[in-house]
Each structure stands twice: as C-alpha cells, then as structure tokens.
Amino acid sequence: MESLASLNLIRLENQLQKLQNQFRKLIPLHKPIYHQLSDCGDHVVIMNTRHIAFSGNKWEQKVYSSHTGYPGGFKQVTAAQLHQKDPVAIVKLAIYGMLPKNLHRRTLMQRLHLFPDEDIPEDIRKNLVEELPQPRKVPKRLDEYTQEEIEAFPRLWSPPEDYRL
Amino acid sequence: MAALSVLVYPCRRLLWGLLAGPIATSWARLPARGFREVVEIQEGKTTIVEGRLTGTPKESPNPPNPSGQCPICRWNLKHKYGYEDVLLLSQFIRPLGGMLPRRITGLCLGEHRKIEECVKMAHRAGLFPNHRPRLPEGFVPKSKPQLNRYLTRWSPRSVKPIYNKGHRWNKVRMAVGSPLLKDNVSYSGRPLVLY
C-alpha cells in the first residue's frame, strides 16, 4: 500500500504549550484511511524554534534531567541553558512527551523536522503543502500599533494640570 | 527662526536643596512647574524666548458609566483587561516604565494592584520597548541571550530552578500569570490556569 505523506509547515514565534493541536498531523487521525498498522502519517516541519516562548518563569524554573548511565552522571539543566546549547531540543522533548507512549513514537519523531531559524533545506521547502495555523496569537508591542489605533483608544483619566511625570 | 526644544526645569530639586534646612519636616506639596517647550520668536530686532506649557491629555468625553469612582469602573473595564492590552496599560506608566501613584490616577486599590501586575508582566514580555530604564552614558550592556516569555509572575533574576519536582501528592508547580486576575472574563470558555 502506498503511503500518502505530505509535508506541513508550522512557523513558531512565541509559543510552546499550545503545539498540541498542531503536530496531530503526525498521527493521521484526520484521514479516513487511518489504521493503526498502516504507516500513513504526515511529515511536520517546524521552523523558528529559536524564538519559542515559555509562559511563566519556566525558562528559569523548568529543569531537564538526564543520566548518562555512568555513576555520577546525573545531569540537570535549566530550560534556558538547554536552549542555549541546542535551540531545537526543547520543542523536540515537548513533542516526544505529547505523543502516545508506544513503539510508533520513534517513527513519528523521525517524521518531525525541526529547524531553529527560517532556513530550511531546498528539498523540504519544495515539498511543503500546507501551513498549519499558529497555536497562539502573539500580542502586539506598543510601537507596533498604528497612530490611528492609539488615537482611537479613549484616554481613561486626566492628570492634574501641573503634575510632572 | 523658531526653535522648539523641551527643557525640564529642575525646580523641585533646587527648591528642596534651598529649603532643606529650615523646612525639613513640612511635607506640603510645593507648586511644581510642569513641562514647557521653549519657543523662540524673532520679531525684527527683538527675540522672544518663551516657555509654553505642553498640553496635558484630557479624559475622553462620555464614559459609559459616569458614576464610577475609578477610571476602570467608569469605562466598564473591570474584569476585562490583561497583560497584552498595552494601550490601556501605557496610560498609567511613566516614560521610563514605572507606575504612576494611585492618588494621581484615581484608581481603586484593587485595580491599581492589578494594573501594576499587568504592567510588570508586559515589561517582562517585552511589550514596552521604548520605556526601558535610562542607562548611564557610554554604557554598553552585555549581550544576553534573548528569551521570549509571557505571563511571568516573578522577576527572572529572582527565580531558582526546581530541581526536585516532588511526588504526585506534593508537586512543586510553576506559576503562570497572576492570581489577581483570576476574576477576569474568559470568552474562550477555557478555565484560567494559574499553575
């Protein structure tokens, strides 16, 4: 049976937790031909993983632990340090933890392609089919608002005449 | 040729310096002189240098609820704002990023605290790029890795990593957002997650 695979693109800017809905394309529950044994998942490409955002203080609080197997080999690294060493690792570990914990997990991870920045190899870029919607709406900074929007927003209070900021 | 420039007269500091001795204990608010812009007008042979008061912005007319005590109640925004409503929060901050006092803005205590918390979260999310504190002259800050964050409750420098996350009955949770905003209206139907 031929496998119908397509490549889908996710552009990441400032979101992590809400990826859950997006990488569902790896497990092809959206296809009517789905069967647990038929290997018909889609590839998912995620770019800009370097610009991911954590809510709360997780950059400092979240700790990624691992053990090399040797005595005294227990390593604990904060999310900020891990991101510094490898900008792709956080997204990879997050998705690995969200996939079903069975033997399919490794093959699904092989179909996930992560890139820290905008540059993607040509052969992947040519085969991209669909851009998936962004998980989180990025809020606008103060200097990204146009002058009309700033003026349209009402002024809530009037300062005293002689008050000096 | 008219030249416009905004000068800040350090009157308050001068007055404090002069009167610090005899009137040290009186806390009467000395009349402060507001911001003026210096305008030079040349008429023939005479040059007039004038300091004109820059206009203070007035409250917009017709608030939806004129009987409210604080600006948020008057405009019916009580449980409806968050850290991303920068246009609202920017009305209560100073140019360098600090909050304005409650006796000036007229907010009630609870709302003042909520807005203060939202302003802190917005600063940490990088939504006020032009309200950063002033650095001394010639100071080049070290380039730090740029980490994007949002809904940060604590200051990044003050937080320690959680090396022991605890057992199932005793987990150490990582805080997100602020409990002051737990009464906010949620239009998406999902409950607010604080931990």
- CA-CA-CA-CA torsion sign (B135, B141, B143, B145): negative
* Domains in chain A: boundaries: 7-55+84-152
Whether residue B2 has pLDDT greater than 80: no
Cα of A88 to nearest chain B Cα, Å = 14
pLDDT tens-digit series, residues A29-71: 778 888 888 888 888 888 888 888 888 999 999 999 999 999 9
Joined tokens for residue A51: 């610009």
pLDDT tens-digit series, residues B152-189: 999 999 999 999 999 999 999 999 999 999 999 998 88
pLDDT at B136: 87
Cα of A154 to nearest chain B Cα, Å = 6
Q: What angle do CA B21, B22, B25 make, to 5 degrees?
A: 90
Q: Suggest the residue from B132, B153, B174, B190 to mutate for an interface test with chain A (most A CBs closer than 10 A).
A: B174
pLDDT at B49: 85
The CATH architecture assigned to A7-55+84-152 reads: Alpha-Beta Complex (3.90)
DSSP state of B61: S
Quote the pTM value. 0.79
- Lowest mean per-residue pLDDT among A82-91, A126-135, B102-111: A126-135
Q: Are B47 and B40 in contact (CB under 8 A)?
A: yes
CA B52 to chain centre: 26
Cα nearest neighbour of B69 on chain A: A157
Whether residue A2 has pLDDT greater than 60: no
Q: What are the structural domains, with CATH classification, of chain B?
A: 63-133+148-194 (4.10.640.10)
pLDDT at A6: 46
Cα of A117 to nearest chain B Cα, Å = 14
ipTM for this model: 0.83
CA atoms of A27 and A42, how far apart (whole Å):
7
Nearest Cα residue to A77 out of A92, A62, A88: A62
**Contact check, Cβ <8 Å, B149/A163:** no
Compute the mean pLDDT over every residue in chain B, rounded to the nearest whole number. Answer: 82
pLDDT band at A126 (very low <50, low <70, confident <90, very high): confident
pLDDT at B160: 95
Interface A-B, measured as beta-carbon pairs within 8 A, has a size of 141
User: CA-CA-CA-CA torsion for A97, B165, B154, B142, nearest 10 degrees?
Assistant: -70
CA atoms of B48 and A35, how far apart (whole Å):
87
Q: Are B117 and B181 in contact (CB under 8 A)?
A: yes
**Contact check, Cβ <8 Å, A153/B88:** yes
pLDDT tens-digit series, residues B15-44: 444 544 444 444 444 445 555 667 788 888
Average pLDDT of the residues in A148-154: 92
Average pLDDT of the residues in B85-113: 93
